[in-house]
Amino acid sequence: MRVAVVGAGIVGVSTAEWLRRDGHEVSLIDRTRPGEPGQASFGNAGVLAASSVVPVSVPGLVWKLPGYLLSRDAPLHLHWGSLARSMPWLLHFLWNGRRTKVEQVAKALAPLIGDTVEQHLALARGTNAASFVRSANYTAIYRNRAAFRKDAFVFGLRRSLGGEWDEWDCATLNAHEPELSGAYAFAASFRDHGFISSPAGYVAALAEHFEREGGRFLTGEAVDIVPCESGGAAVTLAGGAREHADRVVLAAGVWSAGLARRLGYKTAMVAERGYHVMLSGASYMPRGPIMVADAKTSVTPMADGLRFAGTVEVAPVNAPPSRAPVQALRRTVRRVFPRLSWQSETTWMGQRPSTVDSLPLIGPLPDAPAVLFAFGSQHVGMTMGPRMGRLIADLVAMRRPNIDLHPYRVDRFNRG
Ligand SMILES: Cc1cc2nc3c(=O)[nH]c(=O)nc-3n(C[C@H](O)[C@H](O)[C@H](O)COP(=O)(O)OP(=O)(O)OC[C@H]3O[C@@H](n4cnc5c(N)ncnc54)[C@H](O)[C@@H]3O)c2cc1C
């Protein structure tokens, strides 16, 4: 079949490559080159977070909000200029943090992320991207055991879905990460996790492999996707050119919402913005990725420096970056590694495609099955991208996927 994939972040590139391996004639369409800073896939923390089944909205978050708003180091920042517009989504998001809903969401996320390292190894095998996939522990650090116990609900849910971790006291943590501040005296360390040592380099290498093996990359902005009565669908590009295909996959991250709306589908998705501070020439690199629990910040030893990434800020798509989250990340650097030095710093803002129920939209449109959605991967898109791509390839090939796709159905927000 001829298949067009719109969007070349981790989800689109993975999808295009799995489709190509199935023997389809695949066009990958993006307005930028894969691995460019405009993508969420460029600057994320790169953690292959197999155990991160619990969404951001959890029981009790609503009571923490006032404290977050008063603290300049809180992991959550409000974009005051767009607060009124964001409010309905935020309220619904908080409502989805009730216990029963969170348990449902975690159960639905688990099959998309649990085998992430294997999924990345399978995707990258035999390509230049393979060297970016690293196995490592993922270690959540806390001030003390009492602070860890406050996350009992999250860890209990992880355990119920197969998550396993080692608990480290102060001495063990210090033996693993000697440069860490003594203020962090307890850790929960997950084995069998991993990270991508350069998310941008990885996505670019996968795309290069895709093109070298016969896939076609098309630079252009998709302005419309139109299902054809005779079957198939067409992607209209800015400037008027049309790309006809038997199947069209919409994998344009947070920007998918606008194109989905034109097709008559609500996505309940916002740009949940995050930031990174990248320190090149850092004097110390941890052994593997670390989650600083009180700052909700990931620290990852990347190929080209030490990356601190995190924060949540709901804002309109493409609004200019804010300064406060970067300043908070800089303070986290100092708090976590007080003796760290580095040569240079760069900063970045990216937009997570986050639905109100923290689940992606995956699958064909009920009224136009030639068009498939593959977006909404929120905080774990690097983790689940290859899996999403494989599921789409299965659906296009009419192979029955080995997981229940019902929780990700694409028309769930149209039903009210
Ligand atoms: C600070 C931060 C840290 C993160 N850390 C992690 C982590 O450690 N682990 C993890 O698993 N996930 C993490 N994430 C989440 C992850 O980065 C995203 O979920 C993931 O990158 C989304 O991938 P995507 O392919 O859907 O979207 P993107 O990477 O945003 O790609 C979308 C692409 O679509 C293109 N596009 C959009 N509209 C059009 C159009 N009309 N026509 C043509 N092209 C178009 C864009 O140019 C872009 O290239 C993090 C995110 C942030 C912001």
CATH number at residue 26: 3.50.50.60
Question: What number of H helices and E strands is found in the chain?
Answer: 13, 19
Mean pLDDT of 252-256: 98
Judged against a pLDDT cut of 60, whether residue 218 lies above it is answered with yes
Tell me which H or E stretch contains 227: strand 222-227
Summarised one tens digit per residue, pLDDT across range 227-245 is 998 899 999 999 999 999 9
Q: Tell me the pLDDT band of 198, cut-offs 50, 70 and 90.
A: very high
Judged against a pLDDT cut of 80, whether residue 366 lies above it is answered with yes
Q: How many domains does the chain have?
A: 1
Cβ contact 293:148 at 8 Å? yes
Q: Is residue 101 part of a domain?
A: yes
Distance 144 CA to ligand 1 centre (A): 34
Q: Is residue 414 part of a domain?
A: no
Q: Tell me the pLDDT band of 75, cut-offs 50, 70 and 90.
A: confident
**How many CB atoms are closer than 10 A to CB 115?**
17
Cβ contact 293:398 at 8 Å? no
Question: What HEC string does 241-310 produce?
Answer: CEEEECEEEECCHHHHHHHHHHCCCCCCEEEEEEEEEEEECCCCCCCCCEEECCCCEEEEEECCEEEEEE
Cβ(382) – ligand 1 distance below 6 Å = yes
Q: Is residue 253 part of a domain?
A: yes
Q: Tell me the pLDDT band of 416, cut-offs 50, 70 and 90.
A: low
Cβ contact 351:336 at 8 Å? no
For the ranges 67-76, 177-186, 254-263, 326-335, the lowest mean pLDDT is seen at 67-76
Summarised one tens digit per residue, pLDDT across range 64-74 is 888 888 888 88
Mean pLDDT of 35-45: 97
Please report, to the nearest 10 degrees, the dihedral formed by the alpha carbons of residues 102, 311, 202, 384 taken in order. 10
Mean pLDDT of 394-404: 96
Pocket test for ligand 1, best of 28, 39, 391 (most atoms within 8 A of CB): 39
Cβ(257) – ligand 1 distance below 6 Å = no
Cβ(204) – ligand 1 distance below 6 Å = no
Nearest ligand 1 atom, CA 273: 53
Strand pairing report for 297-302 and 305-315: antiparallel
Strand pairing report for 186-196 and 165-168: antiparallel
DSSP single-letter state for residue 86:
H
Give me the chain's average pLDDT, please.
Answer: 96
Which residue range forms the structural domain that includes residue 160?
2-408
Residues 6+ apart with CB under 8 A from 52: 109, 113, 379, 380, 383
Judged against a pLDDT cut of 90, whether residue 80 lies above it is answered with no
Q: Is residue 413 part of a domain?
A: no
Pocket test for ligand 1, best of 13, 31, 54, 193 (most atoms within 8 A of CB): 31
| Ordered alpha helix ranges (H), 151-273 | 152-160, 170-176, 199-212, 256-262
Amino acid at 406: H
Res 387: pLDDT: 98
Cβ(383) – ligand 1 distance below 6 Å = yes
Cβ contact 126:205 at 8 Å? no
Q: Is residue 416 part of a domain?
A: no
Summarised one tens digit per residue, pLDDT across range 118-161 is 999 999 999 999 999 999 999 999 999 999 999 999 999 999 99
Q: Is residue 415 part of a domain?
A: no
Mean pLDDT of 361-386: 98
Residues 6+ apart with CB under 8 A from 132: 124, 196, 197, 198, 201, 202, 205, 303
Amino acid at 192: D
Cβ(375) – ligand 1 distance below 6 Å = yes
Of all residues in the chain, the percent with pLDDT exceeding 90 is: 90
CA distance 316 to 307: 25
Distance 198 CA to ligand 1 centre (A): 14
Q: Tell me the pLDDT band of 78, cut-offs 50, 70 and 90.
A: confident
Using CA atoms, how far residue 70 sits from 39, 74, 297, in Å, is: 31, 8, 18
Please report, to the nearest 10 degrees, the dihedral formed by the alpha carbons of residues 284, 167, 105, 69 taken in order. -60
Res 33: pLDDT: 95
Q: Is residue 277 part of a domain?
A: yes
Res 333: pLDDT: 98
Distance 41 CA to ligand 1 centre (A): 4
Mean pLDDT of 156-180: 96
pTM of the model: 0.97
Cβ(86) – ligand 1 distance below 6 Å = no
Q: Tell me the pLDDT band of 76, cut-offs 50, 70 and 90.
A: confident
Judged against a pLDDT cut of 90, whether residue 39 lies above it is answered with yes
Nearest ligand 1 atom, CA 377: 19
Q: Is residue 53 part of a domain?
A: yes
